[in-house]
Structure 1
Amino acid sequence: MHIAIVTFDGFNELDSLIALGILNQVKAPNWRVSIASPDARITSMNGVVMERHISLEEANTADAVIVGSGIKTRDIILDDTVMAQLKLDPSRQLIGAQCSGALVLSALDLLDGVPACTDLTTKPWVQERNITVLDQPFVAAGNIATAGGCLASQYLAFWVIARLVGVEPACQALHYVAPVGEKERYVSCGMENVSAYLPT
């Protein structure tokens, strides 16, 4: 299984790297998590420099894709050269978006008729695209999911793991990263926010 976290210049570290850390708790054979970007080297909104693992074209072949957030997302969705590289397909991929990543999914016509979660700053811009924004941290419809608020990235990671390898590995991954003394509460919160959107 290959999971790509699409990360653009100006990215929010919490949105991409929390998901990266939680997803990498899975030790299943052939499990791989990659940072995908149009640029070989990207700088976060707080000056952290990071090198990508794969290109956007390679992300198109991943089993799951999470589109991260950042301060340049509104510019990115207007960049036809970048957007043309993304050919995501919910019929064969799990596709998630964190915060302003919802704008990217909308620009790719992946949120038509689907409500979304996003951060409070991005909310009016998503609503301008005629998308209903929910006042909750996570929502999914089929193979499309969105999360709102930096720390909601844990729910996207939980959803991806639960969908690809099962609920128990998702609980174990979240349990590992949760604060000592609060682990059961974190896992319960993950289940509470995500379980309704998992196949029965």
Structure 2
Amino acid sequence: MNIAILTFDGFNELDSFIAFGLLNRLTPQGWKAQIASPTAQVTSMNGVTIHAQQPLEFANRADAVIFGSGIYTRAIAENSSLLDRLQLDPLRQLIGAQCSGTLLLARLGLLGDMPACTDLSTKPWLVEAGVRVVDAPFHARGPIATAGGCLASQYLAAWMMASRAGFDAAAQALHYAAPVGEKDAYVERLLNVVRPFVNDSGR
């Protein structure tokens, strides 16, 4: 299971790194999440520069894709030469987006008429694009999912793990990262959020 976490200049560290860390807990099961970017290096909204592990086009052949958010996402959404590098296939891939990354899903025509989650800053842009924004941390329909709020990145990771590796494997991976003294309750609550959207193509 190869996962591309799309990470652009100005990226939100929580969006990219939480999903990255959680998904790679399934490395023993053959999972590998990697940071994919349009340039060799990208710098976060707080000044952390990282090396991309894969080019942006890695997303086209990955089994799953996550669009992270960032302070320049609106400009990226208007950059057709950049978005044209992406040829995603929801019939084959799981595709998720975090906060302003949902705007990129809309620009790529991947949302259709489904409701979507995002952060409060991005909501007006999505409404302007004709998307119905819901007041929820996570929503999915079939292979497309969106999450709103930086820490909601855990829901995207949990949804992907539960969808492809099953709830038991997802619970084990999340249990390792959950706060000590709260592990069982934390994992149960997290999985209960995504459970209605796993293997549900009609919601």
TM-score (norm: length of structure 1): 0.97
Task: Work out whether residues 23 and 31 of structure 2, in 8 Å CA contact, stay in contact via their aligned partners in 1.
Answer: no
The 5-angstrom pairing of residues 1-150 of structure 1 reads 1-150=1-150
Q: Which amino acid aligns with 1:21?
A: G
What is residue 196 of structure 2 aligned with on the other side? 196
Q: Which runs of 5+ in 2 are unaligned?
A: none
What is the distance in 1 between the residues matched to 2:4 and 2:190?
Answer: 21
Write out per-residue CA displacement over residues 161-183 of structure 1, whole angstroms, 9 at most, x where no aligned residue: 11111111111111111111111
What is the distance in 1 between the residues matched to 2:154 and 2:111?
Answer: 21
What is the distance in 2 between the residues matched to 1:156 and 1:8?
Answer: 18
How far 1:27 sits from its partner (Å)? 3.0
Task: Work out whether residues 77 and 104 of structure 2, in 8 Å CA contact, stay in contact via their aligned partners in 1.
Answer: yes
What is the distance in 2 between the residues matched to 1:136 and 1:78?
Answer: 26
Q: Which runs of 5+ in 1 are unaligned?
A: none
What is the distance in 2 between the residues matched to 1:189 and 1:29?
Answer: 24
Q: Secondary structure at the match of 2:168?
A: helix
What is the distance in 2 between the residues matched to 1:71 and 1:196?
Answer: 31
How far 1:21 sits from its partner (Å)? 0.5
What is the distance in 1 between the residues matched to 2:174 and 2:23?
Answer: 9
What is residue 159 of structure 2 aligned with on the other side? 159
Q: Percent identity?
A: 57
How far 1:28 sits from its partner (Å)? 3.4
Q: Secondary structure at the match of 1:19?
A: helix
What is residue 186 of structure 1 aligned with on the other side? 186
Q: Which amino acid aligns with 1:31?
A: W
**Aligned pairs, number:** 200
Q: Name the stretch that deviates more: 93-102 or 177-186.
A: 177-186
Q: Which amino acid aligns with 1:193?
A: V
Write out per-residue CA displacement over residues 98-144 of structure 1, whole angstroms, 9 at most, x where no aligned residue: 00010000000011101100011111111111111111100000000
Q: Which amino acid aligns with 1:132?
A: R
What is the distance in 1 between the residues matched to 2:5 and 2:170?
Answer: 17
CA RMSD of aligned residues (A): 1.0
What is the distance in 2 between the residues matched to 1:82 and 1:199?
Answer: 31
Q: Which amino acid aligns with 2:47?
A: G
What is the distance in 1 between the residues matched to 2:131 and 2:113?
Answer: 7
What is the distance in 1 between the residues matched to 2:83 and 2:69?
Answer: 15
Q: Secondary structure at the match of 1:26?
A: helix
What is the distance in 1 between the residues matched to 2:30 and 2:134?
Answer: 35
What is the distance in 1 between the residues matched to 2:118 and 2:82?
Answer: 22
